[in-house]
Structure 1
Amino acid sequence: MDRYARWNTLLEILASDGRITVEEAAARMHVSQATIRRDFDQLTQQQMITRTRGGAVANGVSYDLPLRYKSAKRIDEKHRIGEAAAALVGPGMVVGLNGGTTTTEVARSLATRPELVTQSGTTPLTIVTNALNIANEMIVRPHVKVVVVGGVVRPQSYELIGPLAAPILREITLDMVFLGVDAIDVRLGAAAHHEGEAAINALMAARARRIVIIADGSKIGGHAFARICPIEKVHTLVTDTSVAREVTDEFETAGVTVVRV
């Protein structure tokens, strides 16, 4: 288990239990107590936990883990989802991407598809995103035009949120938007935990001809605080094979095309 995976696990334990000792953490992650003490010290320096004698406690906040700590979770599933989603894109399309680890995998797959490289003088693939990390990765690709919406940076997801994004989004049209979500349910629709992210995602969805939700199995059937769009607006759901067939059948009955990878 690498450092970020350990940090992710430690923060999740603290978010759930409120506290943990060095001995407990070392036993649960099968590493030395010295390693756990270093992890605690580094997380304390980042003001994400509070050190105690022999352990650590939560900082009294509801953890929303920064994106770099989430990347180790379900990485194989997210990679497959990213490749399958990218396969839906054709040359010259205008594609929207919000932030998150799964949409980052979509962006990386788009960047490596040779058939999307257009000849000189033709329309390039255009990526419209509110995620700074995605823009940073795509801007070096000569065959991709990158459009970044405005807003205030949310450090947990590297996304730009707030009303400054609205003027740009109102003036463009997307052929397709890929939305990573915190939850999607047949009855409740697609949703995010943070209302600012949900608002921007809803704007992007409203400007798209086709809405594609990308979500690993842990997000299916769940619920989150702020709705992005109802299920009737979703055209395609790309997920992994951990989702039971009877669950995906419910989405298909609701008119959503489901891709399981």
Structure 2
Amino acid sequence: MSTHERWTRLLEILGNQGRIEVGEAAELLGVSTATVRRDMEELARQQLLTRTRGGAVLSGVAYDLPLRYKTARQADEKHRIARAAAGLVPPGAVVGLNGGTTTSEVARELATRADLADHASGTALTVVTNAINIANELAVRPYVKTVVTGGVARPNSYELTGPLATMVLQGLSLDYAILGVNAVDPKFGAATHDEGEASANRAMAERADKVIVVADSTKLGKRAFAQVCAVAEIGVLVTDKDAPDELVEQLAGQGVDVLCV
């Protein structure tokens, strides 16, 4: 297990339990107590947890893992999901992408597609995004027209949110909106933890002819605080092969085209 993966797992455990002792963490992670102490000290330095005598507790700030610590989670599944979602977009389309680890992978898949890169001149694809990390990666691709919304950057997700973001999105027309979310529930729909992100993502979904939600199986059947869109508004859900059959059937029964890759 790499350092990055170990930190991610430690933060996940803290998110579930609220606190953990050094010995328990060492056993769960399969490493020495000395390694766990070093990890806790580093994460405390980054203000992602608070050290206690013999362990750690959640930091006093709202607990939402920063994007850089989510990358290692379900990595293989996210690569497959991203490749499948990117394959649904034809050349010349206008695509909206919100922030997140899976949509960042979608952006990379789009940027390296041979049929797009072959366009020696002109625009092969237009991407509208409120994620500054995605814009940074796509801006160097001459065949991709990159449009960035305004807004206030959230440090956890690199997404631009607020009135500026929604105002720009409301004046645009998109062929596709590819959205990463924190949860997909058959009743509540697609949702995220932060209401500011949800508002910008909702505006993106409303301007698109088709909404494609990308979410690995760990997010299915879960509920999050703020709704992005109802199930009826989701055209395609791209997930992985571990998606529970019952949930897939419930979503498909409501008109969602579910792709398990």
Q: Secondary structure at the match of 1:31?
A: coil
Question: Where does residue 227 of structure 2 map in the other structure?
Answer: 227
Is residue 49–residue 59 contact of structure 2 (8 Å, CA) maintained in 1? yes
Counterpart-to-counterpart distance in 1, 2:248 and 2:53: 48
Question: Where does residue 216 of structure 1 map in the other structure?
Answer: 216
Question: Where does residue 20 of structure 1 map in the other structure?
Answer: 20
Question: Where does residue 162 of structure 2 map in the other structure?
Answer: 162
Question: Where does residue 78 of structure 2 map in the other structure?
Answer: 78
Question: Where does residue 43 of structure 2 map in the other structure?
Answer: 43
Matched, 1:180 2:161: no
Deviation at 1:33, TM superposition (A): 1.9
Counterpart-to-counterpart distance in 2, 1:227 and 1:121: 40
1:2-50 CA distance string (max 9 Å, x none): 1222112222222232322222212211112222121111111111222
Matched, 1:69 2:69: yes
Is residue 126–residue 147 contact of structure 2 (8 Å, CA) maintained in 1? yes
Matched, 1:152 2:149: no
Question: Where does residue 9 of structure 1 map in the other structure?
Answer: 9
TM-score (norm 2): 0.95
Deviation at 1:57, TM superposition (A): 2.0
Question: Displaced runs of 4+ in structure 1, greater than 6 A?
Answer: none
Q: Secondary structure at the match of 1:43?
A: helix
Q: Secondary structure at the match of 2:208?
A: coil
Deviation at 1:209, TM superposition (A): 0.7
Amino acid at match of 2:102: T
Q: Secondary structure at the match of 1:210?
A: strand
Question: Where does residue 125 of structure 2 map in the other structure?
Answer: 125
Counterpart-to-counterpart distance in 1, 2:186 and 2:115: 34
Q: 1:149 to 1:55 in 2, by over 3 A?
A: same
Deviation at 1:88, TM superposition (A): 0.4
Question: Where does residue 54 of structure 1 map in the other structure?
Answer: 54
Q: Secondary structure at the match of 2:209?
A: coil
Q: 1:80 to 1:25 in 2, by over 3 A?
A: same
Deviation at 1:75, TM superposition (A): 0.5
Counterpart-to-counterpart distance in 1, 2:250 and 2:208: 24
Q: Secondary structure at the match of 1:213?
A: strand
Q: How many residues align?
A: 261
Counterpart-to-counterpart distance in 2, 1:167 and 1:17: 39
Q: Which runs of 5+ in 2 are unaligned?
A: none
Q: Which runs of 5+ in 1 are unaligned?
A: none
Deviation at 1:61, TM superposition (A): 4.0
Q: CA RMSD in A?
A: 1.4
Deviation at 1:120, TM superposition (A): 4.7
Identity within the alignment, %: 56
1:82-125 CA distance string (max 9 Å, x none): 00000001111110000111111111111111112353554331
Is residue 122–residue 143 contact of structure 2 (8 Å, CA) maintained in 1? no
1:195-243 CA distance string (max 9 Å, x none): 0010000000011011001111011121111111111111111111111
Question: Where does residue 116 of structure 1 map in the other structure?
Answer: 116
After the TM superposition, which of the residue ranges 22-31 and 195-204 deviates more from structure 2?
22-31
TM-score (norm 1): 0.95
Counterpart-to-counterpart distance in 2, 1:253 and 1:18: 38
1:154-200 CA distance string (max 9 Å, x none): 11111111111122112211110101111112221111111001000
Is residue 121–residue 143 contact of structure 2 (8 Å, CA) maintained in 1? no
Counterpart-to-counterpart distance in 1, 2:210 and 2:147: 19
